[in-house]
Structure 1
């Protein structure tokens, strides 16, 4: 539940920032009448992402077990790739995001078209964050089912919307640099566990068979079906009988991406 909340909070705030930049620019430039069209683009993106997530969840629940494990593994790999790209892109683009979007908005207004270019801009911005959330949540849920996951995701979405409104109105000041840095570090650990879990699913599907030697048995210390074990599995991909493949993929992803992310965050902070 908590991981779904944090994922939707982070992704929701990113989307809220983009929509907030659009709304703020339109208000300052005297084009506030175009905001209903922007909200139309936002609503369309949310509905499409929700429908896609529901469809994928239904489809994966109806196919045979072996094929289901393959789909779970591939969704996990896609989610890790999208998450990694999002983290590294956000790290580089955060400093110039506002100016870039304001330039894009002005260009859209100059072209005319009754504001439909802004609808498309808002739609694509929310759609991108929404698709990242959909694939990541599905991948986490299928590897560590939690009936409260939808509740956590809804809570994170509502919280991000509230933060976005308060930021737009100037009611609160949030250190976005620190927020994205620390949630980014947390999600890198989650993605490392998701990556190793994806290859476990591909092994169950008969696709990945390398490095399946069990290197330890932690079931006597922390069983993976215990409450804490389930929590650790959902957050970090914990298993009480890790294989060479599990550890290898976890380490190969975690250390390079974490080093790259922290180094880039430190450089961004220094430049600011």
Structure 2
């Protein structure tokens, strides 16, 4: 339950910040009448994510056992790639997100025709990125857990993310987003390493990958995967009580490389101001929170 909760909380706050920056800029520049188009873009992005997630889940339920394992392995690999790129990308561009969104908004509203569709499309693609990332990650996590704890955790994370987003937008809540995204990003990379390990095992069970299947160690008598602690570790971090060579190498190699990229110093990016310095909006806490990450 903790993993889906934190995933949805992080991704939900990212999406809420994007919408908050857009809404703030529209109000600051006297274009608040365009907000309905913003909400249409958000709605379409969420609808797409639900459609993709529900469709993949329904289709996979009809697969035979081997195809099911193959599907789980592929979804896991896609989730690992998306998550890794998302965490690294956020560290690189966090300081310029506000400026980039402002430029995209100005470009969408600069023309005299089809401004509504341009704005809807801009918001749609900005939010859809976060939504589809969340769908693939949650699919990979749900495949490693049973029962309703995973969906409930995701639902609670989404509710809290929406509340935090509204609080930041209205200025009633301040959140150290730099620390929040740093710690949740680190947690996500560890979870992604476990997803990769489980994907390698799924590909083996599907008959796709049959190399280096020697068991490195077996601690099932000490910490079995079907025990209380083992099941929690398996659901959160992809723990396996008898990992093979390929599983262990994939886990450790990914974790070392991902952590290297995560802790690698980033070049500071200086964004040009998008409005005169003497102007102040009531939602400055939203944009300041993003640029201080």
1:30-109 alignment, distance < 5 Å? 30-109=30-109
TM-score (norm 2): 0.89
Paired residues in the alignment total: 270
Distance 2:147 2:123 in 1: 32
Distance 1:116 1:33 in 2: 14
Distance 2:42 2:2 in 1: 25
Q: Is the contact between residue 5 and residue 155 of structure 2 (CA under 8 Å) also seen in structure 1?
A: yes
Residue in 1 that maps onto 2:155: 154
Per-residue CA distance 1:56-88 (angstroms, 9 max, x = gap): 111111110001100110010000001111011
Q: Which has the higher helix share?
A: 1
Residue in 2 that maps onto 1:178: 179
Distance 1:163 1:268 in 2: 27
Residue in 2 that maps onto 1:238: 239
Q: Secondary structure at the match of 2:62?
A: coil
Residue in 2 that maps onto 1:227: 228
Which consecutive residues of structure 2, in runs of 5 or more, have no partner in the other structure? 270-291
Give the superposition deviation at 1:262.
1.5
Q: Is the contact between residue 140 and residue 194 of structure 1 (CA under 8 Å) also seen in structure 2?
A: yes
* CA RMSD, 1 decimal: 1.6
Q: Is the contact between residue 108 and residue 115 of structure 2 (CA under 8 Å) also seen in structure 1?
A: no
Per-residue CA distance 1:166-192 (angstroms, 9 max, x = gap): 111111111111111000000000000
TM-score (norm 1): 0.95
Q: Is the contact between residue 77 and residue 196 of structure 2 (CA under 8 Å) also seen in structure 1?
A: yes
Give the superposition deviation at 1:268.
5.5
Is 1:139 paired with 2:150? no
Distance 2:66 2:248 in 1: 23
Which consecutive residues of structure 1, in runs of 5 or more, have no partner in the other structure? none
Distance 1:212 1:143 in 2: 21
Residue in 2 that maps onto 1:209: 210
Per-residue CA distance 1:185-241 (angstroms, 9 max, x = gap): 000000001001101000000000111111111111111011211110111110111
More displaced 10-residue stretch of structure 1: 28-37 or 104-113 = 104-113
Q: Secondary structure at the match of 2:211?
A: coil
1:17-28 alignment, distance < 5 Å? 17-28=17-28
Q: Secondary structure at the match of 2:143?
A: helix
Residue in 2 that maps onto 1:198: 199
Give the superposition deviation at 1:264.
3.5
Give the superposition deviation at 1:144.
2.9
Q: Is the contact between residue 91 and residue 264 of structure 1 (CA under 8 Å) also seen in structure 2?
A: no
Distance 1:44 1:227 in 2: 40
More displaced 10-residue stretch of structure 1: 103-112 or 13-22 = 103-112
More displaced 10-residue stretch of structure 1: 63-72 or 51-60 = 51-60
Structure 1: which 4+ aligned runs deviate by more than 3 Å? none
Distance 2:61 2:13 in 1: 31
Give the superposition deviation at 1:143.
2.5
